[in-house]
Amino acid sequence: MKTISENTCFGGTQGVYSHTSTVCNCDMTFAVYLPPQAKSGPVPVLWYLSGLTCTHENAMTKAALQEHAARRGMAVVYPDTSPRGEGVADDEDYALGQGAGFYVNATQAPWAAHFQMYDYVLTELRELVMAQFPLADSHGITGHSMGGHGALTLALNNPDKFASVSAFAPIANPTASDWGRVQLAAYLGEDETAWQAHDATVLINAKGWSRDVLIDQGTSDQFLELLKPEALSAALASARIPGVFRMQPGYDHSYYFVSTFAGDHVDWHADRAG
């Protein structure tokens, strides 16, 4: 692991690091915020998965999580959204390729050689940060947009790995959306049964969730038709899953929205940390 930068932030340390990923077959960059409490011992972890076009840096600088994480004694891990670099497949469409990994393990050419973001986040990066930083084995996961989709699907598929889950304006029903059908077909092939494990609405209907969920969605989000929050809300209600689904009046899809409710989400996860 290589240290790119480390800065003091709210009494803790905001770091950016890189390493060679065997899962993604390229160098990957990620960020970790360690709160001041980490100087005294291991702290619980909040994973933040970013959306389309983002890197680790967007949320690190715009989502305003560090102050709340320092207040509650939580680390925050910000993975990148996809493999990158020379030789990594890409596409002219911003919603496919570099910056748009959709947190799946691609099985189709040319994506399968590098786009293994599901295993990267769930296993490889998790093992790396647990070995390199003073982190407790207590993990919550959240994310925005494509990252909200990733957070929900990773948690729903791996309830033993995550104590809590929340999302900001997630892509809630990608198998029924243009933000999902194109990407899932490209990465996983035309057999739609392979897509089901990567759709939070489908997973809630099929598997449920034994804990509660926090979802925030802006009513003025310009991508509401692509996100399909109503499908997820209906699934949560049908499955009688406790939690909070908040339609926030006037908020759009931007980091202004995320940063406004960042404190609520950090508190949510901190209250549920094992």
Q: Which residues contact 225 (CB under 8 A, 6 or more apart)?
A: none
> In total, how many domains does the chain have?
1
Tell me the helices (H) and strands (E) count for the chain, helix number first. 10, 9
What CA–CA distance (Å, rounded) separates 154 from 197?
9
Give residue 98's domain range: 2-272
CATH number reported for the structural domain that contains residue 115 in this entry: 3.40.50.1820
Residue 120 phi, psi dihedral angles, 5° rounding: -65, -50
Q: Spell out the per-residue pLDDT of the chain, length 274, in tens.
A: 999 999 999 999 999 999 999 999 999 999 999 999 999 999 999 999 999 999 999 999 999 999 999 999 999 999 999 999 999 999 999 999 999 999 999 999 999 999 999 999 999 999 999 999 999 999 999 999 999 999 999 999 999 999 999 999 999 999 999 999 999 999 999 999 999 999 999 999 999 999 999 999 999 999 999 999 999 999 999 999 998 999 999 999 999 999 999 999 999 999 999 7
Which residue is it, tokens 């499908």? 231
Given a contact cutoff of 8 angstroms between Cβ atoms, the answer to whether 95 and 65 are in contact is: no
CA distances from 66 to 99, 152, 254 (A): 23, 22, 18
- Distance, in Å, from the CA atom of 41 to the CA atom of 81, rounded to the nearest integer, reads 29
Is 145 a catalytic site residue? yes
Catalytic residue among 149, 198, 253, 265: 253
Please tell me which residue in 138, 139, 221, 269 is annotated as part of the active site. 221
Q: Which residue out of 50, 82, 138, 145 is catalytically annotated? A: 145
User: What Å distances lie between residue 230 and 41, 82, 122, 182, 261, CA to CA?
Assistant: 42, 28, 28, 21, 20
| Residue 38 vs residues 72, 76, 164, 270: alpha-carbon distances, Å | 11, 12, 20, 14
The three-state secondary structure class of 209 is coil
Question: Cis omega (within 30 of 0) on the bond before 110?
Answer: yes
* 0.75 surpassed by pTM: yes
Do residues 241 and 204 make contact, with C-beta atoms less than 8 angstroms apart? yes
